[in-house]
Structure 1
Amino acid sequence: MSDHRGSFYARDRDWHPPAYTPDYKTSVLRAPKQALLSLDNTISEMTGPVFGHDMLGPRDDDLITNWSKTGDAIGQRIVVHGRVLDENGRGLPGVLLEVWQANAGGRYRHHKETYHAALDPNFGGCGRCITAADGSYRFRTVKPGAYPWPNRVNDWRPAHIHFSVFGHAFAQRLVTQMYFEGDPMIWQCPIVGTIPDKRGVEQLIAALDRRNTTHMDALAYEFDIVLRGRRATLFENRMEGT
């Protein structure tokens, strides 16, 4: 096994969207004015917080019921599951995943929300879970709706769920979005369009998983998440490492 204190693989800039993407209007003002720099790992990036299961509430992983006032959330019930892996394909245990999303009508529970779809009084739109020993995770929710956004005329966001992933170190912090297999709006979204490689987009699309549906309750979608892996440590008797 490689040394868990090793440095992380460098980020592949050709795989990620460029910093300046004019079709994604709000990115223009955020784009850096100078060339991006790649810095070596620091001690704080190579070590990080440790999360325990005792920080989760009993219904944090069930968005259908964790905001319930008078009943369950309205919408198509789904289970989202998968594994959190590093670049070497190893499952990462104890990773905290926080998720948030719009309701089935495409509206967020947020005081600055401008879309006039109805709020669901029984849906808060957020939850969290922690990966098991093999890096697996699972939560239950409703499928979010699409919604319009003021980027260009008639731009809409496809149905998606936001993920904030806290790995074992700062360099493994990831914020991303999960889309749904078969949604034609994915390929019309200006945010998705900033990703230079089609294979990168496909890694953001959860596959419908009929093997793990909950009988008479929920469809299932499978979505694996890959965090940056650590470089192998070289040993005197095994120069290839690990």
Structure 2
Amino acid sequence: MSDPIPYRRPDPATQPPYDAPSYGSTHKRHPKQALLRVPHTLTETSAPRFDQRFYATQADMSQVGGRGALGERIIVAGRVTDEDGRPCANTMVEVWQANASGRYHHPRDQHDAPLDPNFEGRARIFTDAEGRYSFTSIKPGAYPWRNHWNAWRPIHIHFGLHGAGWAQRMITQMYFPGDPLLALDPIFNTTADEAARNRLVSTFDLEITKPEWALGYRFDIVLRGRDATPFENA
């Protein structure tokens, strides 16, 4: 076994700031005062218990009731690890996204794009003993979001990872390689460090691809340390 990598707090440039000038909604919801460290209670750090006995697994977003959703079927897989590369086993991963037309299955989304009755856009999976996860979905579409003139979000999938309690939830987004909207997107570009930003972009993986059925994309997540995945703070 290789020597552990010394833990080092990430450079601020590798994580998005609370308030980003180009990301409009952060101006109204970021903290206005200096943050205070408040001790966590036992309940916050140890409850509830996120495991498959209490939370149902739903790993296939590409169909509802056996009826296939419209769009390009994909498989997303990867590993969740700590800063030393050790697997984070039995981690509950929640996923949500827009459909192939760029619309969420949510009443607040009034984008003028069609809804798909066979796509609900949410999944829940758990990592195995090696920290691996996998789910099937439909490649999402881009959508307008009114942050600035002619603003469109790149195609992306949201990830929420749960630890041992309510205070241990981390949220990030996975993007797709070659998307021309990435260079224009304020959310993606709030992470100043280019190498850290690129950790949010998945990679095409032929080993994950299922012949004649779905293309595969790899998205590995590192929870903290020098190579940590950028997570949403605002």
TM-score category of the 2 structures, normalised to the smaller one: 0.7 to 0.9
Q: Residues 137 and 189 from structure 1, CA distance in 2 versus in 1: closer, same or farther, beyond 3 angstroms?
A: same
Q: Which of 66, 78, 86 lines up with 2:74 in the alignment?
A: 78
If the length of structure 1 is used for normalisation, what is the TM-score? 0.82
Partner of 1:21: 20
Matching of residues 70-219 of structure 1 within 5 Å: 71-169=67-165, 172-219=168-215
Q: CA deviation at 1:48?
A: 4.9
Partner Cα separation in structure 2 for residue 108 and residue 150 of structure 1: 16
Per-residue deviation, residues 29-64 of structure 1 (Å, max 9, x unmatched): 112222345x38646465454332234546x10001
Residues 133-169 of structure 1: CA distance to partner in whole angstroms, max 9, x if unpaired? 0000000000000001110010100000001100235
Per-residue deviation, 1:106:
0.4
Q: Which amino acid aligns with 2:52?
A: H
User: Is the Cα contact below 8 Å between 1:172 and 1:227 reproduced in 2?
Assistant: no
Give the Å deviation of 1:214.
0.8
Q: 1:48 to 1:225 in 2, by over 3 A?
A: farther
CA contact (8 A) 1:78 1:218 kept: yes
In structure 1, the partner of 2:65 is 68
**CA pair 228-168 structure 1, distance change in 2 beyond 3 A:** farther
> 8 Å contact 2:45–2:168 — kept in the other structure?
no
CA distance in 2, matches of 1:198, 1:189: 14
TM-score by length of 2: 0.85
TM-aligned CA deviation for residue 68 of structure 1: 3.4
Number of aligned residue pairs: give it: 219
Secondary structure at the counterpart of residue 29 of structure 1? helix
When the two chains are superposed, the root-mean-square deviation of aligned CA atoms in Å is 2.4
Amino acid at match of 1:68: G
Q: Percent identity?
A: 45
AA in 1 matched with 2:170: L
The answer as to whether partners of 1:105 and 1:117 remain within 8 angstroms in 2 is: yes
Cα drift, residue 14 of structure 1: 3.6
Greater Rg by CA: 1
Matched with 1:53 is 52
Q: Which moved more, 1:126-135 or 1:182-191?
A: 182-191
